């Protein structure tokens, strides 16, 4: 049983406060959704949890099973069991998915490097990732949807304790969305994975059914409820929560690519 505990987390970039006191607790086997209008701080939350440079944490704490994550470099947060699927997965020329996963295995305790190829091939079959993608440079020349399948493959092979999924649905067609959601759900049941699923759009939550839904607006959690909260947002949009009146979570993401893999081109 693992718990990611976020208490009063505050973070800023130079000249601008973004996270203004986030409280969230995600435990093994649970699926929490974080929904919110564009620019509300969803990706910032994911970056700060994983330790992206460029943000200053000005208050609060983040622990995984009591261990202070904010004191650790990103790779040690990953070793501790935290996984991030980025909104815009980075292109890594010269490094294949196989290379990346073999390195991840080599760096993790209790996983035999000899298992990794077999596991990757099983998971690639399960997720419909074509074998030729495994040895190609990571994410280079891939569509948004192919990148998201890759991310899910990494999640399935690495088997983290807690996964933060930032807009894992963007760029996916309905069938791929279902395949990926089923795989993530299986991880919650089989491996007791805890999930923090960040999404602007409620369509993900028809497939990846959340136990708890949080609304993030202006850098704060302004509402928390059950799945009915996502259903309500589909009707009302985010207007009640500080979003634009026409900012409804049912809109399908057109996807987007950015030079900075962490950047949100919509912001």
Q: Summarize as ranges the residues that interact with Mg ion (CB under 5 A).
A: 42-43, 87, 264
User: What b/e string do you get for 222-251 counting C-beta neighbours within 10 Å, with b at 16 or more?
Assistant: bbeeebebbebbeeebbeebbbeeebbbee
Q: Does 202 sit near ligand ADP (CB under 6 A)?
A: no
Among 44, 85, 199, 217, contact with ligand ADP (rule: CB under 6 A): 44
- Out of Mg ion, ligand ADP, none, what residue 249 binds, judged by CB under 5 to 8 A for its kind, is none
- Out of ligand ADP, Mg ion, none, what residue 181 binds, judged by CB under 5 to 8 A for its kind, is none
Q: What are phi and psi of 238, to 5 degrees?
A: -95, 5
Chain residues 14-33 in contact with ligand ADP, contact rule CB under 6 A: 16, 18
Other C-beta atoms within 10 Å of 149: how many? Answer: 24
In terms of CB distance, is 23 or 102 closer to ligand ADP? 23
- 3-class SS at 157? helix
In terms of CB distance, is 43 or 139 closer to ligand ADP? 43
- Out of Mg ion, ligand ADP, none, what residue 139 binds, judged by CB under 5 to 8 A for its kind, is none
Q: Does 171 sit near ligand ADP (CB under 6 A)?
A: no
Minimal distance, residue 264 CB to Mg ion, in Å? 5
Dist CA 49 CA 70 (whole Å): 8
For strand 212-217 and strand 220-225, is the pairing parallel, antiparallel, or unpaired?
Answer: antiparallel
Dist CA 51 CA 71 (whole Å): 9
- Out of Mg ion, ligand ADP, none, what residue 13 binds, judged by CB under 5 to 8 A for its kind, is ligand ADP
Dist CA 93 CA 182 (whole Å): 30
In terms of CB distance, is 12 or 161 closer to ligand ADP? 12
Q: What are phi and psi of 98, to 5 degrees?
A: -60, -45
In terms of CB distance, is 2 or 43 closer to ligand ADP? 43
For strand 137-138 and strand 92-96, is the pairing parallel, antiparallel, or unpaired?
Answer: antiparallel
- Give contact residues for ligand ADP (rule: CB under 6 A): 13, 16, 18, 36, 38-44, 54, 264, 267
């Amino acid at each position: 049983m693992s718990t990611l505990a976020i208490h009063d987390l505050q973070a800023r970039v130079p000249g601008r406060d973004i996270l203004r006191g986030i409280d969230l607790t995600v435990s093994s086997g649970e699926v929490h959704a974080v929904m919110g209008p564009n620019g509300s701080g969803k990706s910032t939350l994911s970056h700060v949890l994983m330790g992206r440079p460029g943000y200053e944490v000005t208050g609060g704490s983040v622990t995984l099973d009591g261990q202070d994550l904010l004191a650790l470099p990103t790779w040690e947060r990953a070793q501790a069991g935290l996984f991030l699927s980025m909104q815009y997965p980075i292109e890594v020329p010269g490094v294949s998915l196989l290379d990346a996963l073999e390195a991840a295995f080599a760096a993790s305790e209790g996983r035999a490097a000899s298992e990794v190829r077999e596991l990757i091939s099983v998971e690639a079959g399960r997720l419909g990732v074509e074998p030729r993608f495994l040895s190609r440079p990571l994410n280079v020349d891939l569509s948004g949807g192919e990148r998201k399948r890759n991310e899910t493959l990494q999640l399935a092979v690495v088997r983290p304790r807690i996964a933060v999924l930032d807009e894992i649905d963007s760029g996916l067609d309905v069938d791929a969305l279902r395949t990926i959601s089923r795989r993530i759900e299986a991880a919650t049941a089989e491996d007791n994975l805890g999930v923090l699923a960040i999404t602007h759009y409620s369509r993900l939550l028809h497939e990846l059914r959340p136990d708890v839904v949080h609304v993030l607006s202006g850098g704060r959690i302004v509402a928390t409820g059950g799945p009915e909260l996502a259903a309500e947002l589909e009707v009302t949009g985010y207007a009640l929560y500080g979003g634009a009146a026409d900012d409804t979570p049912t809109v399908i993401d057109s996807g987007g690519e950015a030079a900075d893999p962490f950047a949100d081109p919509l912001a």
